[in-house]
Chain A
Amino acid sequence: DAGVIQSPRHEVTEMGQEVTLRCKPISGHDYLFWYRQTMMRGLELLIYFNNNVPIDDSGMPEDRFSAKMPNASFSTLKIQPSEPRDSAVYFCASVQGRYGYTFGSGTRLTVV
């Protein structure tokens, strides 16, 4: 089992550019969560999916953020256009059953 795979591990981009973060969850897990981690705000829930359907996106900070889960094995988080304040570590977590979380290693995003 390769666990939850996130790509890229690091991303440096210029302000205004589009950024796409990717997540491959563990097969058979029925929930997928996207979290953002910053020094100032800690870990914040952005959005989560159940069986590929977005359930709660109330944590998405602005319309510049969007997330999709086209199938059970792939999810993306897109920021367009990116801003320096979006710099953070973005985690994807795949969940099985009741709170059976497995976190990915995260994508460290730097917007300059």
Chain B
Amino acid sequence: AQSVTQPDIHITVSEGASLELRCNYSYGATPYLFWYVQSPGQGLQLLLKYFSGDTLVQGIKGFEAEFKRSQSSFNLRKPSVHWSDAAEYFCAVGATGTASKLTFGTGTRLQVTL
């Protein structure tokens, strides 16, 4: 069974600083990988996804993530954080089967200081 680890529960960065959120996965084959963002009181919104091909994936809102098979990682990055990026971020893994079943990490809460 697949699993996801997000080692950082809470991260604080200053507005304009760079951001990297860590994600490690466990899966026997090449996984499908996702990053979602959740604002307070809202559902989850997809930031980006990796299925295959180029290991550097661009997403919405200026986010990108890099798939590193050797490290079983899919870290999320943004070069310059905006105050509106404060939210909770979830990494998720999907199995390469017919059912679109996602397994989520426990999330990282991002706080942005002005």
Contact = CB atoms under 8 A, between A and B. Distances in A.
Contact of B100 (A4, A95, A103, A106): A95
A91 B43 contact: yes
A99 B104 contact: no
B44 A91 contact: yes
Contacts of A98: 32, 51, 100
Contacts of A104: 43
Contacts of A101: 44, 46, 100, 102
B34 interface: yes
A112 to B, nearest CB: 20
Interface in B30-56: 32, 34, 41-46, 49, 51
Interface stretch (A12-20, A43-51, A64-72, A75-83): A43-51
A102 to B, nearest CB: 8
A31 B100 CA distance: 8
Interface residues of A, number: 22
B106 interface: yes
Nearest to B43: A103
Given A42-B107, A99-B32, A99-B49, A105 B43 contact: yes
A99 B36 CA distance: 12
